[in-house]
Amino acid sequence: MLDRMELLRLVERDAKLNSKEIAVMLGASVEEVEKELDFLVKEKIILGAKTEINWEKTDLESVVAMIEVRITPIRNKGYNHIANLISKYDKVKACYLMSGGFDLMIIYEDKNLKAVSSFVSDRIAPLEGVLSTTTHFVLKKYKDNGILFEDSSNDDRQAIIL
């Protein structure tokens, strides 16, 4: 019997794996793997495949912002209404309902600080129910989606002998 959770962990870790490689790793047949993958896609358990790119090593200039949004839920629509409106923008990479001092966390990527500022002031702040926003800018990415962006295994510290 195919272990669904292990299959999901494998494809989450490496979307480039093909059915034959997965079958060998799980001790299953290629047909079982393909049938299960089709089911997982159909049921929207697997939503897509992604390649992680270290954009800092390319010529692309962009800014990643984390935008905290405090809201008052709209009657009969709750938090979902505002979250769905914000999530429809292409440059919104993620939108989470949070516990704590704010309600939504938006991960937003654009070409520069001014573009992020315009998004917040022109698109988010005017929405009915939005009380306040706080924007944080990512200065450097060390790890994302479980992937280290720099090899920190080299210890360059100098020995001090007393």
Give the tens place of pLDDT for each residue, 41-89: 999 999 888 777 777 778 778 999 999 999 998 888 889 999 999 999 9
Handedness of CA 3, 8, 14, 16 (dihedral sign): positive
Question: Is residue 152 very low, low, confident or very high in pLDDT (cuts 50, 70, 90)?
Answer: low
Q: Is the domain of 33 the same as that of 70? A: no
User: What pTM, to 2 d.p., does this model score?
Assistant: 0.72
CATH of the domain at 121: 3.30.70.920
Q: Is the domain of 78 the same as that of 37? A: no
Residue-level pLDDT at 154: 67
Question: Cα(45)–Cα(135) distance, rounded to whole angstroms?
Answer: 31
Per 3-state DSSP, what percentage of the chain is helix, strand, and coil (rounded to 5)?
A: 35, 20, 45
Domain count, the chain: 2
**Is residue 108 situated within a structural domain?**
yes
Q: Is the domain of 17 the same as that of 59? A: no
Digit-coded pLDDT (tens) for 78-135: 899 999 999 999 999 999 999 999 999 999 999 999 999 999 999 999 999 999 999 9
Looking up tokens 């702040």 gives 125
Residue 12 has pLDDT above 90, yes or no: no
**Is residue 59 situated within a structural domain?**
yes
Structural domain containing residue 35: 4-42
Nearest alpha carbon to residue 130 among 65, 71, 74, 87 = 71
| Contact status, residue 67 vs residue 125, Cβ threshold 8 Å | no
Phi, psi of 34 (to 5 degrees): -65, -40
Q: Is the domain of 60 the same as that of 112? A: yes
Residue-level pLDDT at 96: 97
Question: Is residue 156 very low, low, confident or very high in pLDDT (cuts 50, 70, 90)?
Answer: low
**Is residue 157 situated within a structural domain?**
no
Question: Cα(150)–Cα(142) distance, rounded to whole angstroms?
Answer: 7
Q: Residues 137-147: what's their mean pLDDT?
A: 86
Distances from the Cα of 73 to the Cα of 92, 94, 99, 121, 127, angstroms: 20, 19, 14, 19, 11
Residue-level pLDDT at 108: 97
Nearest alpha carbon to residue 111 among 78, 46, 62 = 62
Q: Is the domain of 30 the same as that of 95? A: no
Residue 147 has pLDDT above 70, yes or no: yes
Q: Is the domain of 64 the same as that of 121? A: yes
Q: Is the domain of 15 the same as that of 59? A: no
